[in-house]
């Protein structure tokens, strides 16, 4: 068994254990393998071990991988900061975008999504840590953005995503994730058909699952430390 296969198995076991411990339905938490900064061989190894969903943060780096990896059946998720000049790449090459935080970007993605592809699946990124984090919309602005995004025909609003400021205590991790969960429940109560709560990374996936995550984004625990910080674009 390769190192990546073993670590992938260990992460799947952590997810299953957290589902059991926090009374979640078995199999209700999806695993997104975050491959940013990792070489093609690492993605191929995870793919060979049955992993289908992969997350990338930098459009340019991702594009090289997506075009090279036609031998693996991968569902690509864009999870990095969305920039105006990168929306076409994201609209053309990804199945999902988790980091939508402005209507202008949603409109560009909607206009640029190729007609032959299904709608781009999107999550709104929410800033649940206040000042500490710069990305994401403030919670109070989420309903208006959700309404506008839900009206775009080439996007399908699936849920909310957050990248809270890193903290080490479980209770502090849980408190942040519960704020996103509360917002998600509020939107669903208002009639938005959301089914995705994208939260939790290598160091806090248990707290995220306790708070109701339906998808965790895991890089380091599967692939090890990223070789080098990806180049800014």
Quote the least distance from Cβ 203 to ligand PLP, whole Å: 6
Tokens representing residue 2 in the block: 């390769």
Binding-site member from 14, 24, 36, 181 for ligand PLP (CB under 6 A): 36
Binding-site member from 139, 164, 212, 219 for ligand PLP (CB under 6 A): 219
Question: Contact between 220 and ligand PLP (CB under 6 A)?
Answer: yes
Closest to 176 in 3D by CA, of 125, 127, 122, 218: 127
Question: Contact between 159 and ligand PLP (CB under 6 A)?
Answer: no
Question: Contact between 4 and ligand PLP (CB under 6 A)?
Answer: no
Segment 76 to 105, residues that bind ligand PLP, using CB under 6 A: 79
Give the number of other CB atoms < 10 A from CB of residue 94. Answer: 26
CA triple 127-129-133, angle to 5 deg = 70
Quote the least distance from Cβ 225 to ligand PLP, whole Å: 8
Question: Contact between 176 and ligand PLP (CB under 6 A)?
Answer: no
Closest to 149 in 3D by CA, of 126, 182, 180, 176: 126
- Contact residues for ligand PLP, defined by CB under 6 A: 34, 36, 57, 79, 163, 201-203, 217-221
């Amino acid at each position: 068994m390769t190192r990546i296969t073993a670590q992938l198995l260990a992460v799947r076991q952590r997810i299953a254990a957290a589902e059991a411990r926090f009374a979640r339905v078995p199999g209700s938490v999806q695993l997104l393998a975050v491959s940013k900064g990792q070489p093609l061989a690492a993605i191929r190894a995870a793919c060979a071990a049955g992993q289908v969903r992969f997350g990338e943060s930098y459009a340019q780096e991702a594009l090289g991988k997506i075009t090279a990896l036609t031998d693996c059946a991968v569902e690509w998720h864009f999870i990095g900061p969305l920039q105006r000049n990168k929306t076409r790449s994201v609209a053309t090459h990804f199945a999902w975008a988790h980091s939508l935080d402005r209507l202008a970007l949603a409109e560009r993605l909607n206009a640029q999504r190729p007609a032959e592809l299904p709608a781009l699946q999107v999550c709104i990124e929410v800033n649940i840590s206040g000042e500490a984090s710069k990305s994401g919309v403030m919670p109070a602005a989420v309903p208006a953005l959700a309404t506008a995004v839900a009206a775009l025909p080439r996007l399908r609003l699936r849920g909310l995503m957050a990248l809270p400021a890193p903290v080490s205590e479980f209770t502090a991790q849980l408190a942040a994730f519960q704020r996103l969960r509360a917002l998600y429940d509020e939107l669903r109560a208002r009639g938005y058909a959301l089914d995705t709560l994208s939260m939790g990374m290598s160091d806090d996936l248990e707290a995220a699952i306790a708070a109701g995550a339906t998808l965790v984004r895991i890089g380091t625990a599967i692939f090890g430390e990223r070789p080098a910080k990806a180049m800014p674009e």
